[in-house]
Amino acid sequence: MACWQRFPAWPDSVPGLRALRREYVIASCTDLPTAPMTWLAKHAGLPWDLVLGSDLLDGWAHDGSLFLKAAATLELQPSEVMYASAHNADLAAARAAGLKTAFFARPKEFGAEQRNDLAPRDSWDIVAFDLLDLARYMESAVF
């Protein structure tokens, strides 16, 4: 198991995902392979309903194919799916594929010198402080 698979979750991740999971199916949709993401989720206690890696979906986030295949896997139309991320480029690809979008910042994800993705670069459907804030927003949101 790689050391990054043993990273702890962000403090808001587990409670935020649990809150979202009460009303929604939540899945990790990632360019990374499924196995290491499953081990990371297990170690960090991330309560995903499903882990969808690029190896299973045979697609990539930046070209949107990953998002279309994830929606199809769950028998949903892209417009019925929301992609939440701290990465503006991935959100742009998700929106281009027809998904709803939610941004939350992770300003130290890549260390103290991080310069990208410190703030939303576009008008995403939701802009939240973190996953707990996103869950609170979703409790009252109508789409």
Confidence (pLDDT) at 57: 93
State yes or no: pLDDT of 4 exceeds 70.
Answer: no
**What average pLDDT does range 51-65 have in this prediction?**
92
CA distance 80 to 27: 14
pLDDT band at 140 (very low <50, low <70, confident <90, very high): confident
CA distance 13 to 16: 5
59: nearest Cα among 90, 15, 23: 90
**What average pLDDT does range 122-143 have in this prediction?**
92
Q: How far is CA 89 from CA 13, 47, 74, 134, in A?
A: 21, 25, 23, 19
Planar angle of CA 113, 116, 122, nearest 5 degrees: 155
Question: Which positions ≥6 away from 16 have C-beta within 8 Å?
Answer: 130, 131, 132, 133, 134, 135
Six token digits for residue 123:
């008008």
Which amino acid does the sequence have at 38? T
Confidence (pLDDT) at 60: 87
Of the candidate CATH numbers 3.30.565.10, 3.40.50.1000, 1.10.260.40, 1.10.3720.10, the domain formed by 11-106+120-140 belongs to: 3.40.50.1000
**What average pLDDT does range 120-127 have in this prediction?**
97
State yes or no: pLDDT of 143 exceeds 70.
Answer: no
Q: Where are the domains of the chain?
A: 11-106+120-140
CB 68 within 8 A of CB 97: yes
CA distance 26 to 134: 13
